[in-house]
Amino acid sequence: MLALFAGTKRLNADEILRRNGSNWRKFVDNFKAMHEELVQLRLALAQGESVHVGTTLAGQGKS
């Protein structure tokens, strides 16, 4: 981890997805992982924690 992020809480939907054994190809699994990330983010901010957030959810969205 970069020194820049030392002492911060890491929030990453992709890591939550993997930790839960979910399938990145399923929209509902991606949604659940993002929801969990938001829950953790709100909790961390309410407690005054420093956080860093990143995600590269693959999903099946079209751009």
62 pLDDT higher than 60: no
Domain residue ranges in the chain? 7-48
Distance of CA 37 to the CA centre of its chain: 4
Whether 51 shows a pLDDT value over 80: the answer reads: yes
Joined tokens for residue 47: 């407690």
Model pLDDT, residue 41: 94
Give the model confidence (pLDDT) of 23-38 as tens digits: 988 989 989 999 999 9
Q: Percentage of the chain surpassing pLDDT 90?
A: 54
The helix, strand and coil proportions of the chain, stated in percent and rounded to the nearest 5, come to 50, 10, 45
pLDDT of residue 4: 73
Q: Where are the beta strands (DSSP E) in 1-63?
A: 9-11, 51-53
